[in-house]
Structure 1
Amino acid sequence: MPALALGAIGVVFGDIGTSPLYTLRECLKAAGGVSPTNVFGIVSLILWSIIVVVTCKYVSFVMRADNDGEGGILALTALASDVAPARLRRMLLTLGVFGAAMFYGDSMITPAISVISAVEGVTLIDPHLSEWIVPVALVILTGLFKLQKRGTGAVGRLFGPVMLIWFVALAVIGATNIADHPSIIRAVSPVYAFLFVAHAPATAFIVLGSVFLALTGGEALYADMGHFGKTPIRLSWLLLVFPALVLNYFGQAALVLARPSVISQPFFESVPSWALIPLVALAALATVIASQAVISGAFSMTKQAVQLGLLPRIPVVHTSSHEIGQVYVPFINLTLYVAVVFLVLFFRSSGNLAAAYGIAVASTMLLTTLLMYFVTHCLWRWKPVATFAVIGPMALVDALFVSSNANKVIDGGWFPLLAGAALFTVMTTWHKGREMVVQQIRNDSLPLAPLITSLTTGEHPVMRTHGTAVFPGGVADMTPTAFLHNLKHNGVMHRINIFMAGSTYNTPHVPDEQKVSVRDLGNGCYSVAVHHGFMEIPNVPSVLTLLEKQIPDWHYEPDDVSFFLGRDTIVATGQSHVMSLWREKLFAFLARNGAQAAEYFSLPPNRVVEMGGQINL
C-alpha cells in the first residue's frame, strides 16, 4: 500500500497538484485585481470547489463506480450501459464517446500549460531569460514523452518521491505565509464565496472559469484508478494532497493581500529570494509529472476504446507484469507530443493557455455525472429521491463550470474542442463502420455449420491434410472468407479447423473459465466464441491453450498450427444510407492504417497465412 500510494502521488495528482502555479493569478486577473472582497471570495470559492467537486464527487462518490477496478469515462459508460434500459444504450454510448474525446483534448493542453507555467518562474531570477521559456519547455516535454516507454510503474517510482517533496513544499510555503497574515483563515467560511458572488454576479461568473483551473486534474483521478487502485488514491488525497493544496492557496491569498504587487507571480513570490531557484527547479519537475496523469489516462482510455470497437487496432504495450492496467501506446504518445509542441509554439505563455484551458475537461465532468445517474439508479438501486438529491446538485455545479468556461472558446478553447470533435468523429465513424462491415459479412457469407456438413459428409468430401487451421476474428456462425479462399486455392481442409469469433464484454477482464465456449460442428471442426474484457488484448495462442480442455484428443502444438487471416479491403461506394461518402472514406482509411491483425492477435509471424478480400460499403 505505501508503494502504491507513493506511485499514485507521482502519477495521479500531478495535474491538480501543480494548479497553484497559475490558478489564483488567473482568478484575480479575471476579477479585475486585488481587493479584500476579491481575495477572500476567490480563495473561498477555490476551497469549496475542491471540496465539492474533487473530494465529495470524485474521491467519495464517482470512484465507487469502478468497473472491476477500472475507471475513466469509457469504463463508466460500459458499466452504465449494462444496467440502463436498452432504448437508452446508444445514447449512453454517444455520451461516453464524447466525454472520452474531450478527455483527449484535455490530455493535449495539460502538459503544455503545466510545464510553461513552471519555466516562467525564471523571469523572476532574470527578466532577460523570458526568451528561453519556450525552448526550455519544449526540451522538458520531449524528455517526458520519451520516458513513457518505460511504463507508468517505473515513471511513478521515479516521480513519486519528487511529488512527495513538492506537496510538502506547497504546505510549508502556504503555512508560512498564513502565519504572517492569519486573517485569511476566515475565508474557510463559504459566506465569503457567497458575498463575492452577490457583490458582482457577472464578474463572479467569469471568475468561475478560472477557479475551475484548480479542479482540472479531478477526472484524471478516476481515469488513472486502474493503475494504482482506489484506496491508495483516496489515502494520498485526504492525507497529503488536499491539505497541501488548501494551505498553498490560502498562503498565496494572504501574500497578495499584504503585497498586491506580487499578483503577476504570487506562487513564486511567496518564497524568499534565496529559495527561488530551487523552487523553479522543483516546479519544473512537478509540472513534468503533472503531464503524466493525463498521459497515463489517455493510454488507458485508448486501450478501452480499441476493445470496445471505438478505435481501430492500435499496438498496446503492457509495461508491468504486476499491474495489468499499466500500458504504453506508442501512437497516442506520438500524437499527444505533436499536439503539445503545437500548443506551446502557438500560445507561448501560460496566461494564453489558461484562456483555452478547462472547457474540454469541464464537459467530461458533466458527462461523468450524467452517466453516474444510471449507475446509482439502475445498478445501485437508489430510490429516485436519493438519486436526484445527489446527482442534481453535482450536475448543477458541473453545468455552471461548463457555462463559465464557454467564453474561453474564442480565446483558445477552440483547440481542445476541435481536437475532441475530430476524435469523436473518428470513434463514431469507426463504431458505425464496424457494424456495417459485420452486417455486410452476414449478408454475403455462407452459414458455417451447413457448409461444414456439406464439405465433410457429402458425396465428394474435401481432401484433408494434417495439422490445425485456426481462423481468428470471424463473425459468429458465418464462414470466414479466409476459409473459402483456402478451399478455392488449395482444395484441402486441415484435420482440425477452429473458427474463432470474438466479443468484448462490458467488464475489464473475463476469467479464463468463462473466456471460451466451444460448439462441435463435427468432423474435426469447431466454432469457438471468445470473450474478452475491454481492458484485455486478444491473444489467440493463449486462447488455444484454454481449448485443450474442451477439444477431445487435441493439444496445442505451435509448430502444427497455421493461422488464416482475411485481409479485407474496404471500398467506399457512397451507396450506404447509414453513412455519408466522406465518412465511408474515413472508415476505409482507418481500416487500412490500423495495426495488422497478426500483431494484434499476438500470432507467430511464421505461422500466418493472409487471404485478401474486398468489402463494398
Structure 2
Amino acid sequence: MASRLKSKLEDSQFAKYALLVASMFCAAMVIGDGVLTPCISGVYKLINKASWFPSETVVGISIVILIGLFAAQRLGTERVGSCFAPVMCVWFAINGGIGLYNLLKYDPSVVRALDPRYIVRYFSRNGKEAWISLGGVVLATTGSEAMFADVGHFSVRAVQLSMCVVVYPALVLAYLGQVAFLTKNPHLVADAFFKSIPGTLYWPVFVVAILASVIASQALISGTFSIVQQSHSMGCFPPVTIVHTSSKSPGQIYVPEVNWLLMVACVAVTVGFQTTAGICNAYGMAVVMVMVITTSFLVLIMVMIWKVNLLLVVSFVATIGTTELAYLTSVLYKFPQGGYLPLTFAGVLMLIMYTWSDVQRRRHHYELHHRISPDEDSIGAGATTHQSLSRLPGIAVFHSDGDPAPLHGIPPVFKHYVANIPALHSVVVLVSIRTVHVARVRVEERMTFSRVGPPEMRMYRCVARYGYEDGRRRSGESGHVAFEEMLVKVLMEFVRANAMGLELVEEIEVIQRAWDDGVVHLIGEYEMIAGEGSGFWKRLLVDWGYSLLGKIVWRRSGPRVFDLPCSRTVRVGMTYQL
C-alpha cells in the first residue's frame, strides 16, 4: 500500500504541486507565528498587570521590549540561550510549585479533571459555546507547533526530555492549581494566574513571567531563522545572509535581513491592534493551521516511510487529527476578529516562495538542457565565425553560483562568453563553491580538481568546500589572494598526480607561467525572462514577480565571497529564456 501510494503521488503532477504549496504555506505560517508570538508576549503580560498605565504607554513599553529582543539576536542563539536557560528553569519551577501549593490548599480533588470524560460532559452541557471556547483553549498549547523548527537548534532527545520531564508536568500542576483556586474564587476567573499567586511571590513571579514571555518569543524567532535557512537550501527562498553563531551546532544561526523584517512587522502589529484580543485570534489561527498541516504530512510519512500499521494510522487520525480539526473550525469562527492576519501574511510570503522556487526550477532545467560537453569542439562551437580560439596569458577563474549543473557539464554562460569573445586564457578553472554543514573543512580536503576536455585545453573543474566558520583568508592577507594561492597549489598537485613525463613538465610550466601572468575572475550574471510564446501567468511569474524579487534581493556571488578586486573581475551577462 505504501508503494502504491508513493507511486501515485510521484506520478501525479497535481499531487506534487499540492504538497509543495502546502509545505510553503506551512513554512510561511510558522514565520507568521514568529511575528505574532513576540507581539502577544510583549503586550499581554504588561496589559494584564499594568492597567494603571495608559494604553499608549503600554504599547510604547512593548515596542521597546520588542526592539531590545530583536537587537539581541545578533549575539546568537548560543549566547542568548545560555542567558535564558536559568530563567526557564525558574519559570517552570514556579509554575509547578505554585500549582501544587494551590492544589493542596484549595481542593486536591480537582485532579479528577484529568479524566477525559469531563470533555464530553463539557461539550454536552455547553454546546456551541463550548465549541467557540476552543479558540481560547488552544492558546494553552501554543509553542508546541514550533518544536519541529527548534529541532534544528537542539537535539531531538533534548526536546523530548525537556517536554516530558519538565514542561508537561509543570504545566499540568499549574493548571490544576488554578482550577483548585477557582473552586473557591470563581469571580477571579478572568485573571486566575496572577490572582492565584501567594502575595509574597507576586512581584517576583511577575518579573519572571515577563522574562519567560521574551524567551517564548526567542524560540519562535530562532525557529523562523531555521525555516528560512531550510527553505533557501531547497531553492524555495531568495538568498539571505546566514550567520552561524555556534561552532558546536550548525543549526544555531542568525539571519540579519529576516530579523529586522520581523522586528518591523512586530512593531506594526503591536501598534495596529493595540490590545491582545485581535492578536490572540490571529495567534490561534497561525498555531492551529501549522498543527493541522504538520499532522497531515505526518500521516503521509507514517504510511510511506515509516510504514506504520494501518490500524495505528487510523487511530492517530481519529484522535489527534479530529481534535486539531475541531480547534481549526473554532479559530476560523474568529476570522474577522484578527484571524485574517496570519492567513494574509502567509499568502504573501508563500507567493514569494513559490515564485522564487518555480523560476529556480525552470533555470535548473534550462542549464541542464543547454550545458555543453567538455570537449574541444563543443567548447569552441560558439565561435562559429572564427577558425579557432585564441589563448591569452594568465589564469581565468570562472565562478559558478553553486548550481548543480556545472558539475555535470560546462554551464551555458561559458559558451555565451566564448561566442562573444573567442578567446580563452592559457589556463581555465571552473570553480563551484560549496558551503558544507560543518564548522571547518580540513585544508587538504578543501579543494578537489578534475580535468575538463583534452589535456591540451588546460581546463579544469574545481569544487571548493568551506565550513561555515572557515576563514577564507590568512592574517594580513586579502581573501582572494589566499584563495588564488591555494587554488594554484592544489591544481599543481592534481597535475603531478595525473600526468607523466614530458606532459607533466609542460603542463606545470604552463600553469606556472599563467600564474605569473596573473589571475582574472569571471562572474556569471543572469537575467530570467519568459520564452517566446509563453502564456500570461508564466510572464507574470517570470518577467514581473521574479524580476522584482531579483532587484530587491542582494545576490551574493564570487566578488562578495572573496572580496575580489574590481580591476581583475569580469562580469559575463546572459539572458535565460525560460
Same fold (TM over 0.5): yes
> Do 1:108 and 1:416's aligned partners in 2 also have CA atoms closer than 8 Å?
no
Q: CA, structure 1 residues 388+197, in 2 after alignment: closer, same or farther (shift >3 Å)?
A: same
How far 1:176 moved relative to its partner? 1.5
How far 1:516 moved relative to its partner? 7.4
Q: Give the equivalent residue in structure 2 for 1:69.
A: none
> Do 2:431 and 2:464's aligned partners in 1 also have CA atoms closer than 8 Å?
no
Q: Distance in 2 between matches of 1:306 and 1:600?
A: 21
Q: Distance in 2 between matches of 1:83 and 1:229?
A: 34
> Do 1:356 and 1:412's aligned partners in 2 also have CA atoms closer than 8 Å?
yes
Q: Distance in 2 between matches of 1:108 and 1:218?
A: 16
State the Cα deviation string for residues 274-316 of structure 1 (Å, max 9, x = none): 4332222211111111101110000011111111111111111
Aligned mate of 1:463, from 383, 391, 400: 391
Q: Does 1:595 align with 2:554?
A: yes
> Do 1:113 and 1:354's aligned partners in 2 also have CA atoms closer than 8 Å?
yes
How far 1:209 moved relative to its partner? 1.5
Cα RMSD after superposing both structures: 4.0
Q: Does 1:353 align with 2:314?
A: no
State the Cα deviation string for residues 226-245 of structure 1 (Å, max 9, x = none): 21101111111122111111
How far 1:183 moved relative to its partner? 2.6
One-letter amino acid matched to 1:463: R
State the Cα deviation string for residues 232-279 of structure 1 (Å, max 9, x = none): 111111221111111111122222221122222211111234433222
Q: Give the equivalent residue in structure 2 for 1:363.
A: 289
State the Cα deviation string for residues 521-558 of structure 1 (Å, max 9, x = none): 2223245689999x999x99699799869943499999
Q: Does 1:168 align with 2:96?
A: no
Q: Distance in 1 between matches of 2:532 and 2:166?
A: 57
Q: Distance in 2 between matches of 1:227 and 1:521?
A: 44
Q: Does 1:521 align with 2:521?
A: no
Q: Give the equivalent residue in structure 2 for 1:47.
A: none
Q: Give the equivalent residue in structure 1 for 2:571.
A: 610
Q: CA, structure 1 residues 491+351, in 2 after alignment: closer, same or farther (shift >3 Å)?
A: same
Q: Distance in 2 between matches of 1:353 and 1:337?
A: 16
Q: Give the equivalent residue in structure 1 for 2:503.
A: none
Structure 2: runs of 5+ lacking an equivalent = 473-479, 498-507
Q: Distance in 2 between matches of 1:205 and 1:563?
A: 65
How far 1:150 moved relative to its partner? 0.7
SS of the residue corresponding to residue 430 of structure 2 reads strand
How far 1:131 moved relative to its partner? 4.7
> Do 1:213 and 1:358's aligned partners in 2 also have CA atoms closer than 8 Å?
yes
Structure 1: runs of 5+ lacking an equivalent = 1-79
Aligned mate of 1:115, from 42, 56, 59: 42
Q: Give the equivalent residue in structure 1 for 2:522.
A: 564
Q: Give the equivalent residue in structure 1 for 2:477.
A: none
One-letter amino acid matched to 2:413: T
Q: Give the equivalent residue in structure 2 for 1:56.
A: none
1:417-432 equivalent positions in 2, closer than 5 A? 417-432=343-358
How far 1:491 moved relative to its partner? 2.8
Q: Which has the higher contact order (CA 8 A, sep 6+)?
A: 1
Aligned mate of 2:149, from 223, 226, 236: 223
How far 1:168 moved relative to its partner? 0.8
Q: Give the equivalent residue in structure 2 for 1:41.
A: none
> Do 2:281 and 2:334's aligned partners in 1 also have CA atoms closer than 8 Å?
yes
> Do 1:482 and 1:565's aligned partners in 2 also have CA atoms closer than 8 Å?
no
> Do 2:389 and 2:422's aligned partners in 1 also have CA atoms closer than 8 Å?
no
One-letter amino acid matched to 1:101: A
Q: Does 1:142 align with 2:79?
A: no
Q: Does 1:407 align with 2:320?
A: no
Return 135-144 or 380-389, whichever deviates more. Answer: 380-389
> Do 1:472 and 1:564's aligned partners in 2 also have CA atoms closer than 8 Å?
no
Q: Give the equivalent residue in structure 1 for 2:123.
A: 197
One-letter amino acid matched to 1:166: W
Q: Give the equivalent residue in structure 2 for 1:386.
A: 312
Q: Does 1:206 align with 2:206?
A: no
Q: CA, structure 1 residues 422+600, in 2 after alignment: closer, same or farther (shift >3 Å)?
A: farther
How far 1:431 moved relative to its partner? 1.0
Q: CA, structure 1 residues 361+544, in 2 after alignment: closer, same or farther (shift >3 Å)?
A: farther
SS of the residue corresponding to residue 112 of structure 1 reads helix
TM-score scaled by length of structure 1: 0.76
How far 1:155 moved relative to its partner? 0.8
SS of the residue corresponding to residue 429 of structure 2 reads strand
How far 1:345 moved relative to its partner? 0.9
One-letter amino acid matched to 1:497: V
1:497-516 equivalent positions in 2, closer than 5 A? 497-498=429-430, 500=432
State the Cα deviation string for residues 169-201 of structure 1 (Å, max 9, x = none): 111111111112223222111111111012123
Q: Distance in 2 between matches of 1:92 and 1:514?
A: 37
Larger radius of gyration: 2
> Do 1:318 and 1:326's aligned partners in 2 also have CA atoms closer than 8 Å?
yes
Q: Distance in 2 between matches of 1:180 and 1:571?
A: 72
> Do 2:526 and 2:573's aligned partners in 1 also have CA atoms closer than 8 Å?
yes
Q: Distance in 1 between matches of 2:228 and 2:74?
A: 15
Q: CA, structure 1 residues 230+105, in 2 after alignment: closer, same or farther (shift >3 Å)?
A: same
TM-score scaled by length of structure 2: 0.81
> Do 1:315 and 1:595's aligned partners in 2 also have CA atoms closer than 8 Å?
no
